[in-house]
Structure 1
Amino acid sequence: MGTDSSLVGGVAESTDPETRAAFERRVDEQAERIRADIRSGRLDTDEFAVGMELEGYAVDDAGRLARVPEAVFDRADCGKELGVHNFEVNSAATTFDAAGIADQAERIRANVDAAASALGEVDLAPVLDAMWTIPPAEGTDAYLGSVERRDGVVVAENMRHHPRYVALDNEILERSDGSITLDVPGVSLSYPTILMESLATSIQPHLQIPDVETFPRYFNLALRTMGPVLSLSSNAPFLPADCYDDDPAVIDATPHELRVPVFEGSINADAPRDEGKVRFPDDVAQATDVVDRVVADETYAPVLADGDDPNTSPYRATIREYDHKRGVHWRWVRGVVGGHPVGTEPDGASLRIEYRPLPTQPTVRDTIAVQVLVVGLLRGLGTADHPLTELPWAAARDCFYDVVADGPDAPLAWVTADGDRTTDPETVYDELFAYARRGLRDAGLDDDTIDASLEPLERRRDGTVPSAWKKARVREAVADGDTLPEAVERMQRDYIERAGGETPFVDW
């Protein structure tokens, strides 16, 4: 069967009612086994563990968005994403101790270097950034909107031609009346594909929780840290330059984190914010809640996993339909079942938190700092029995979306160690870093290592964050006489020249 037939056939199989019914049966059966494993303690592990996913995109020698050739993925051992310009590197899980954190840093650096080397062989370069803004040669509209119909199936030219992605695209298009729209300050976009979602890239720290009985506490703490951590790391204030008219008012009006409305808008159609498939998750009362939510979530683009998958752990090989459905259970924090825990038997399994709201950072050092802050903070808050979970869920949600809009200028929401509500950023950041330090010390890191790891983020407390830097550079270029599109491109070329090196963002 040729590639074209495989795509069309894969979409047809995914939309077949019998496939959907069989898929749902398997998900139900696998979920029941997972619940039993949670209750029996099978997903308990010996210790905390950490990992990281990092997404980026490729550019040519003119700084324009570029397609990544297939050969690059084999050479660099990195993963593919929705857009043909995207790549992802992962650092495999390590123990959450001094040696493991050091190993994470080495692995992230090595994986980014490998991607850079493989891309360099085809005259391309990786960019560590949260949203591409210099379009490819044909322009943003042509790139994102180029589709064709093959036997009734919409195939986006610049989407990875994998049946899973194409089936997902077609299912969401059907639910969205054939058009994906985005309305943000200065821009109204509409495309016949979800490829707009590939504008955004992110980093996702992972924290394995050793005792599933405590998992709900860590999960609920994670929700309440999202806004404050994002306020230190926002990095996506602009869409591609050619999307804009020459209206400088956009600079102040545009959100600091366009990734969030782009992702939610690409997937959710007209669903209310708290009901869309991409959203701020609810609290959990027990670990099995994360399983129940995957089961109850709407099924998109089901695939029956027949045949062996050598790239998955023994445990996850038994829950492949559940795993597939969890993969499209898009929440800004997720519970992930089944990963192989560090240093245990081959058939071991775990339960971990995937922390998803954060944009890709400008450098590897900044990325490592974010990972260390997140995992240290969650561990420190959790082991100290900090009362942050007393912050109402709605306040945590509103804080997150306020930061999406206003970045470091947004009001924050927090409950202090004394049980007091506060919106004072200095108080919030004091506790944020104090409890991150506590969690890292509990993991065995010494104070000098902790200080060096957190410094690139701690120095952002005055509002010096990537999104604010980008807005300031664009504002300066407009004042120099550039049009808004010219100013966005000028800023981005400066960003690309600086990004990816060893100099942390705060020293730019």
Structure 2
Amino acid sequence: MGKDVEAVEISGEDRRQYREKVRRCLDVLARMLRESRFEFGRPHIGLEIELNLVDAAGDPLMRNTDVLDAIADPAWETELGRFNLEINVPPRELGGAGALEEEIRDNLNNAEDAARTVGASLVMVGILPTLRESDIHLENLSGNDRYHLLNQQIFAARGEAMPIVIEGAERLETAVESITPEAACTSAQFHLQVSPEEFAAAWNAAQAIAGVQVAVAANSPFLFGRQLWHESRITLFEQATDTRPDELKAQGVRPRVWFGERWITSVFDLFEENTRFFPALLPICSEEDPVAAFEAGETPTLDELTLHNGTVYRWNRPVYAVVEGRPHLRVENRVLPAGPTVADTMANGALFYGLLRYLADEDRPVWTRMGFSAAEENLHRAARLGIHAPLAWPDPDGRDHGDPTAARLVLRRLLPMAAEGLVRQGFDPGRRDRLLGIIEQRCAAERTGADWQIATVRALEERRNLTRPEALRAMMLRYIANMHTNEPVHTWPVEA
């Protein structure tokens, strides 16, 4: 969840002052980077998981405020839709993350018990399969002022309804007049704290593996009753927050949900691009003078820069934050869907952290041998086809052997890299082998959450003659039962 704001009326003068403050913040960030004002010890990680609320039939339930009151835990927050919640897992050293899986399971089980007191259940899934088009309207946006102001500003920029068109196994074409469809996109967001000197390598590595991550973790095949992409969340999120009418698209104006367009040499590149390419959506100024704070030896919060950064939705987002008076930088990895289980989520995280460390350490990094556009194409190909997608990856012998499927690429080349990367960061060997073993077995079986959902709905339709809505509800109830076992998704049976 981004930084909260109060409901306000925004004027042209507000925008001018905000633009000036953002530029002053950017200047201060440049000075902080030059003067090495950042402290960094061992790498820390963090995790946010977005979840959906459903009723006893598996349909979306619009009661996140009631569920939050029942949970009564500050780690839990609202998300964009009234059928969403988010849990924020406290940061810890990567090498000391051994008990993380058990901690998350305990938190989710406690929250589930509380949610049931108000007739709700929690679901970790990339897109809730039972979500209907009739659920996506402004009244089902959460009451948080930030969300309503974002909705107002995005549609003021567009000046028209937002079309959503997805060509997959089936076709979806609709138009919406609020950003509520974005609430359908629920993710698991992994954070990694890095030093300024290592940031560019870490971000480049994260961009290079984004397609791999999405392919092996796809879990969003259904939207509004249609079977679309294996990870439909990627294209839905891109379209649901697009501030550009067709004329601006034709002029090459960048979209707010953005993969980027080049490898970087510094974290400054990303913040500078954000201020240069994207007008403010939430032009709200704080009282801090970032220059005065910096020159007084204080740590500036750079409020305007961080608020603006939170409205540019990069799949790997740079984060500047101040914790206990000390500034730090993080890569926020946003490509992964939530679920299906905590075990699957932790396995996805182990692959991400291990691969990122290994690739960032290479003498001849992968991004020096791979075009940036190839990395972006991998992301969208993976979203369409999932674990079966052919992905481009530079061959060590320099010869073109064709693009292997994501499953084969991970099994033959990337898993050993991830294992070595985790070793370098002090990850417990037993947990490493268990989590990467889940990825290995998932790839060998070629079954992600998306594959299981598609196969189960097909079986319910063909063997029991259920309609699509009936099959989706029945599948959803099986999904929830399997989710609570914490057995990885590749082991789930497909039953009618």
| TM-score normalized by the length of structure 2 | 0.87
Match among 381, 389, 394 for residue 402 of structure 1: 381
Deviation at 1:141, TM superposition (A): 3.7
Structure 1 counterpart of 2:81, one-letter code: G
Structure 2 counterpart of 1:262, one-letter code: L
Within 5 Å, which residues of 2 pair with 1:446-485? Answer: 446-462=428-444, 463-480=446-463, 481-485=465-469
- Residue of structure 1 equivalent to 2:118: 122
Distance 2:93 2:411 in 1: 27
Q: 1:106 to 1:27 in 2, by over 3 A?
A: farther
Match among 189, 199, 204 for residue 215 of structure 1: 199
Distance 1:222 1:187 in 2: 30
Distance 2:475 2:253 in 1: 34
Within 5 Å, which residues of 2 pair with 1:105-254? Answer: 105-135=101-131, 140-145=132-137, 156-184=138-166, 185-210=170-195, 212-241=196-225, 244=226, 251=227, 254=228
Distance 2:412 2:33 in 1: 36
Deviation digits for residues 229-282 of structure 1, max 9, x if unmatched?
A: 2111000010133xx5xxxxxx4xx21111111111111144379821112123
Q: Does 1:289 align with 2:269?
A: yes
**Would you say the 8 A contact 1:416–1:431 is kept in 2?**
no
Q: 1:433 to 1:32 in 2, by over 3 A?
A: same
**Would you say the 8 A contact 1:414–1:421 is kept in 2?**
no
Distance 1:11 1:196 in 2: 24
Q: Does 1:275 align with 2:275?
A: no
Distance 1:397 1:105 in 2: 31
Distance 1:429 1:452 in 2: 15
- Residue of structure 2 equivalent to 1:76: 73
Distance 2:192 2:237 in 1: 23
Q: Does 1:358 align with 2:336?
A: yes
Structure 2 counterpart of 1:142, one-letter code: S
Indicate the larger mover: 426-435 or 163-172: 426-435
Q: 1:430 to 1:90 in 2, by over 3 A?
A: farther
Deviation at 1:421, TM superposition (A): 5.5
Indicate the larger mover: 324-333 or 111-120: 111-120
Q: Does 1:89 align with 2:62?
A: no
Deviation at 1:68, TM superposition (A): 2.8
Deviation at 1:87, TM superposition (A): 0.6
Structure 2 counterpart of 1:304, one-letter code: C
- Residue of structure 2 equivalent to 1:248: none
SS in 2 for 1:318: coil
Distance 1:292 1:428 in 2: 34
Structure 2 counterpart of 1:39, one-letter code: R
Distance 1:382 1:429 in 2: 20
Q: 1:386 to 1:56 in 2, by over 3 A?
A: farther
Distance 1:27 1:229 in 2: 33
**Would you say the 8 A contact 2:57–2:473 is kept in 1?**
no
Q: 1:255 to 1:495 in 2, by over 3 A?
A: same
| Aligned Cα root-mean-square deviation (Å) | 2.4
SS in 2 for 1:359: coil
Distance 1:479 1:407 in 2: 23
Distance 1:39 1:366 in 2: 40
Q: 1:469 to 1:31 in 2, by over 3 A?
A: same
| Identity, % of aligned positions | 27
Deviation at 1:355, TM superposition (A): 0.8
Distance 1:107 1:421 in 2: 45
**Would you say the 8 A contact 1:315–1:348 is kept in 2?**
no
Deviation at 1:468, TM superposition (A): 1.2
**Would you say the 8 A contact 2:22–2:305 is kept in 1?**
yes
Q: 1:277 to 1:404 in 2, by over 3 A?
A: same
Distance 1:361 1:142 in 2: 25
Distance 2:466 2:253 in 1: 40
SS in 1 for 2:152: helix
Structure 2 counterpart of 1:373, one-letter code: L
Distance 1:453 1:274 in 2: 41
Deviation at 1:174, TM superposition (A): 2.2
Structure 1: unaligned runs, 5 residues or longer: 1-6, 146-155, 245-250, 308-313, 341-345
Distance 1:413 1:339 in 2: 38
- Residue of structure 1 equivalent to 2:312: 329
Structure 2: unaligned runs, 5 residues or longer: 289-296
SS in 1 for 2:146: helix
**Would you say the 8 A contact 2:130–2:469 is kept in 1?**
no
SS in 2 for 1:76: coil
Distance 2:392 2:253 in 1: 19
| TM-score normalized by the length of structure 1 | 0.85
Q: Does 1:374 align with 2:374?
A: no
Q: 1:295 to 1:103 in 2, by over 3 A?
A: farther
Q: 1:103 to 1:64 in 2, by over 3 A?
A: same
**Would you say the 8 A contact 1:386–1:417 is kept in 2?**
no
Distance 1:474 1:141 in 2: 19
Q: Does 1:299 align with 2:280?
A: yes
Distance 1:280 1:89 in 2: 25
Distance 1:421 1:329 in 2: 36
Aligned residues: 461
- Residue of structure 2 equivalent to 1:151: none
Q: 1:321 to 1:111 in 2, by over 3 A?
A: farther
Q: 1:318 to 1:446 in 2, by over 3 A?
A: closer
Q: 1:427 to 1:404 in 2, by over 3 A?
A: closer
